Chains A and B, each alone.
Chain A
Amino acid sequence: MKIKSSVPFFLELTALVSLAMALSFEIFAKGITLEFPLQGGRIDYKNYSYFSHMVFGYFPVPMITGIMTALALLLIVLDIILKRNKQIYKATFTCSVLAVIGAVLSITVANPINICVTILLAISGLCLLGVGKKISENSVVE
């Protein structure tokens, strides 16, 4: 089912930009801090990217967040190309929500980069929610 182009394009574009920025932070910045304990109560702090296998080997949530972000980005691009398909929108929104949940759960191993990622994912989620509202409004009109 195609949705009328009255859905504000800028919301989708904002979501796309936010997701792209979040994904680049997840890949290129070391947004996850693991705390390795040493004998005597000392801690060895190590920073990793969301996609590091080291992070996955200790706390899988950040990598799942990263995968969901990448999927949401891919789907939103597909959604724009296919001129807003309702099914693809639903999948995009689900991935985006899962990414936000993952980012929030990852706050236990957070550093400032992780906070930025969480904010960017939340922005994209809110924009997609706005797109969804417009889609339902249009469906009612139709």
Chain B
Amino acid sequence: MTSLVSEGWALVKNYSFFTNLASCGYCEVNSNGNKVFSGGNGICGYIAAGMLVTYDSVINGKGYISSVYYTKNGDEVSIKSTLPYMLYKKGEALGYGTDTTSVEIHYALKSFFEVRNTSVNHVSYYAPLANNMNIANYLCDDRPVIWFGMISNNSFDTQKKISHAVVVYGYKMSILGQYSYIAHFGWEGANTVSFSGVIGSMYTYTY
């Protein structure tokens, strides 16, 4: 964990939540709208949203979700797949599918918070308002950000030009002003993935 700091990453205060996350609740949704673990459509946006609300519930004591949706053993947290699936169902009720940008996640989480009588400030931007400087500002304010865009390279595997939604919890800027990020990729075991790419939209919330 200290190695991330020594590598020069600017991180959110409780980044260890993401680096220690035992399970992100990965699941997929099949054509009938049922939860499956393989062979369905990806719901990366909802998985990322699930991590964001769990982060605030566990680390910041916000109590947005009950312990039905996660388990906690010491520093190790496991999100159950019921959480992203529940968020997907919120989106589905609003007419959204499995594919999401910041707007779909914004309204799915708005619906999620409304049920809980909780008010948060949703921050949902498309490019050019969704940009590196804006993300860096939110990270400096201790807010992890859901990054939607085209990833050109990443440290987890050799896939290139993938469109993905990930939870960014740290960034680094090179001497030439190029940004790279460290994120949880929304797959089991992909807790500490550094990447760079073209951003399309971003989502976070403040309270």
Residues of A within 8 A of B (CB): 34-41, 43-44, 46, 53-54, 56-61, 108-109
Q: How far is B163's CA from A108's CA once the two chains are assembled, in angstroms? A: 11
A36 and B127 within 8 A (CB): no
What are 20 A-B pairs with beta-carbon distances under 8 A? A35-B162, A35-B163, A36-B42, A36-B99, A36-B162, A36-B163, A36-B164, A37-B159, A37-B162, A39-B188, A40-B38, A43-B159, A44-B41, A57-B101, A57-B102, A57-B103, A58-B163, A59-B150, A60-B126, A108-B150
B149 and A59 within 8 A (CB): yes
Q: Which residues on the A side are within 8 Å of B126 (C-beta)?
A: 56-57, 60
A36-B42, A58-B149 as given contacts; A108 in contact with B103, CB under 8 Å: no
Q: Which residues on the A side are within 8 Å of B44 (C-beta)?
A: 36
The 4 A-B pairs with the shortest beta carbon distances in the complex, nearest first, are A57-B101, A58-B200, A34-B163, A58-B163
Closest to B127 in A: A60
A35-B162, A59-B200, A60-B126 as given contacts; A53 in contact with B38, CB under 8 Å: no
Binary contact track B94-135/A, C-beta < 8 Å → 1, others 0 = 000001011100000000000000000000001110000000
Residues of B within 8 A of A (CB): 26, 28, 38, 41-42, 44, 99, 101-103, 126-128, 148-150, 157, 159, 161-164, 187-188, 198, 200-201
Quote the shortest CB–CB distance from B129 to chain A (angstroms).
11
Q: Known A-B contacts: A56-B200, A57-B101. Give 15 more (CB < 8 A).
A: A34-B163, A35-B162, A36-B162, A36-B163, A37-B42, A39-B38, A39-B188, A41-B159, A53-B101, A58-B148, A58-B149, A59-B198, A59-B200, A61-B198, A109-B150
Q: Which residues on the A side are within 8 Å of B99 (C-beta)?
A: 36, 46, 54
Q: How far is B187's CA from A106's CA once the two chains are assembled, in angstroms? A: 27
Q: How far is B162's CA from A41's CA once the two chains are assembled, in angstroms? A: 11
Quote the shortest CB–CB distance from A59 to chain B (angstroms).
5
Q: How far is B99's CA from A59's CA once the two chains are assembled, in angstroms? A: 14
Q: Which one of A35, A37, A40, A109 has the highest number of Cβ atoms from chain B below 10 Å of its Cβ? A: A37
Q: Which residues on the B side are within 8 Å of A37 (C-beta)?
A: 42, 159, 162, 164
Q: How far is B163's CA from A109's CA once the two chains are assembled, in angstroms? A: 10
Q: Which residues on the B side are within 8 Å of A60 (C-beta)?
A: 126-128, 198, 200
Q: Which residues on the B side are within 8 Å of A56 (C-beta)?
A: 101, 126-127, 200-201
Q: Which one of A37, A38, A57 has the highest number of Cβ atoms from chain B below 10 Å of its Cβ? A: A57
